[in-house]
Amino acid sequence: MIDFFWNLGSFIIALGMLITAHEYGHFWVARRCGVKVERFSIGFGKAIWRKVGKDGTEYVLALIPLGGYVKMLDERVDDVPEELKDQAFNRKTVWQRIAIVAAGPLANFLFAIIALYFMYLIGVPSLKPVIDTTILGTPAAQIQVDEPMQITSVGGQSVKNWEEVTYALVAHIGDPKVELTLTPISGMTDVNDSPPVTQGQKYTLNTESWHFDPDKESPITSLGLGIYRPAITPVLGLVSPDGAAAAAGIEVGDTLVAMDGAPYLDWEEFVEVIKSSPNRPVDITIKRAGEQLKFVVTPQERENAQGKIEGVIGIAPTQAAWPENMKLQLEYGFIESFVVAADKTWQLVDVSFKMIGKLFTGDISVKNLSGPISIAQGAGNSANYGLVYFLGFLALISVNLGIINLLPLPVLDGGHLLYYFIEVITGRPVPEKVQEIGFRFGAAMLLMLMSVALFNDFSRL
């Protein structure tokens, strides 16, 4: 229940900021173009706060925080007094109307740059994209890894951490091949030391049969890249208080020695035995303060993602420290942060447009669409990790909000822009009846997409 309210609160804060940025873009440009703005509302429904400013605009905070709007004076909607007609939206030139409508999505892109600017100014702890193996039967199997190797570019695009690798790989879904550049990480000691993209071995992977389910795996592992992780130690770093291990007397700091009389050799092997033993007692020997102790633990049963029953005892091991030469601190100066933030925003825009295109070509399934529930979970999770990660999340969602609004659906900003550009070409406005038909079609399409996204959200719960 606490997670629910945390996610909900983070979602409301995130969405409120993004909607405010979007609507303020419309508002600011409309005012500069001489349009009278009657209402600036964040949210829909009943107003929980309102105030009329000196400019005559009514500022409203409404009950339902799932959108917002800027109500401008418009003769097509209301009767406008003769003395105010020059301030009506419909009386403005087509290029002024285009500027007002486009300002909303552009404000979202600017918001993303600002969020990323502060994220990079604060600094983001990260990890270099290092692999130590590849998986047989996958596109990456042709890569021979004799020592840890750092991925320095994907498809010719420089990458510094795993997040950038993920975005770069996703952009190549459906492509027949993808090129990776890898460089041995041995010899690098400085935290921010990265080899130039021009160095290293290039590999061209055949990805014609590459498919993956983002709900179950990442593009990295599905491609066959084995992510380097420090060795797992037999010392327990977590013992769940309501788990079977805690009930038997096992504690944090205990060292696994044996199970059912067989010496402990590998964590993965240990986990497999526990999973295969629901409700069946197992003998676990541990070392505590130099003394060996034996406990009888009966794994509790749970249903996994495939619907199978497996055992669980509620423990997790500790992991060796990350080598310093594999850590990365993405932190830049006052000016450089802006340049990096703008470049990152452009990359997000580019990837997002490519993803939309791949939805239409069928390279990406509509099952990958996410709705408000997934966004709320993402907001809560990123907020849990700290401010810099929440800022990164805000930037990503802001870019997506801007792009969605640019889609040529008549109910969205992109649909209005389509009509206005037709007016630029033909020299006359699109007929009202045609616009009305388009609005109905756009509303139906938007409702369908929202329904699919919500269905996907509920199926992931």
Catalytic residues: 23
- In eight-state DSSP terms, residue 269 is H
By the 8 A CB rule, do 62 and 44 touch?
yes
- The token duo for 141 is 């199997």
CA distances from 239 to 95, 243, 250 (A): 64, 7, 8
Q: Does residue 289 come out as left (phi exceeding 0), alpha (psi in the -120 to 50 range) or beta?
A: left
What amino acid is encoded at 103 in this protein?
A
Helices and strands, number each (H, E), in the chain: 11, 18
- In eight-state DSSP terms, residue 423 is H
CA distances from 256 to 60, 164, 232, 247 (A): 60, 37, 12, 17
By the 8 A CB rule, do 288 and 153 touch?
no
Query: What burial class does residue 206 get, using C-beta atoms within 10 Å of its C-beta: 0-12 exposed, 13-18 middle, 19+ buried?
Result: exposed
SS (H, E, C) 380-410: HHHHHHCHHHHHHHHHHHHHHHHHHHHCCCC
